[in-house]
Amino acid sequence: MSKPATEALSVNAKKTSRGPAKVANDAAAKGAKAAKPRMAKPKVQPSEPGKPVLLAGGNPQIAKAYGDAPVQAYIAAMPGWKSDVGRRLDALIVRTVPGVYKAVKWNTPLYGFEGEGWFLGVHCFEKYVKITFFRGTSLRPVPPVASKMHDVRYYHIHENDQLDEAQLAAWVKQASELPGERM
C-alpha cells in the first residue's frame, strides 16, 4: 500500500474505533442521556430438589396446569403462614362453590367454571396474600383494594389478620354468580 492509503486507513480506524470513554464523552457533549444499565433478573430463592422455586416476593413457581393437583402443589409451596391461609381459602371456596374448577396459570391459582371463565385468583406477595376478584366492583360490599383495571378489586390478607370468613364466603358466592374472566 502506498503511504497516503495507509494514512487514510489509519485515520478511518481512529474515527471508528471509539472506546466506552469516548462514547460517554460524546454523549455528554451532545446532552444525551447515558444508557441505563440493564435490570437484573428477579431473585429467586433456591429450593430443595423436587420443591418449587419461590419467585421474588415468595410466590411459588408452579407450571401451568388444570385441576386440583396443581392448586394443592401451589398451596403446599406457599412459604410460612401463607400456606395455612391458602388451605383455608381453598377450603372456603370449595365449600362455598361446589364443583368449582381450578387451575394454576401465571403462578397463580385460579377458580372458576370450566368453559365459563375465572372469578377469583390468589397470589403470594412478601407481606400478604392477595385475592383477586375479577368482577370485584360488582360485589357488595366492594372489596377494599382498588386496581388499575376497572372491574377488578383485591382483598389482602396479612400474617396477623383475623379472617372474616363470612365476608369472604359472601364475596366468593357473589363472584361465582357473575360472568367469568376468560384468560
Class for the domain spanning 56-176: alpha beta
Across 93-110, b (16+ Cβ under 10 Å) vs e yields bbebbeebbbbbbebbbb
Whether residue 41 is predicted with pLDDT greater than 60 in this model: the reply is: no
Compute the average pLDDT of residues 123-148: 96
Give φ, ψ of 180 to 5 degrees. -80, 160
User: Which run of H or E residues covers position 146?
Assistant: strand 145-146
Give φ, ψ of 67 to 5 degrees. 110, 180
For the chain, give every domain's residue range.
1-39, 56-176
Task: Give the confidence band of 132 by pLDDT, cuts at 50, 70, 90.
Answer: very high
Grid coordinates representing 114 are 370450566
pTM: 0.73
Q: Look at the block and give the residue holding cell 354468580.
A: 177
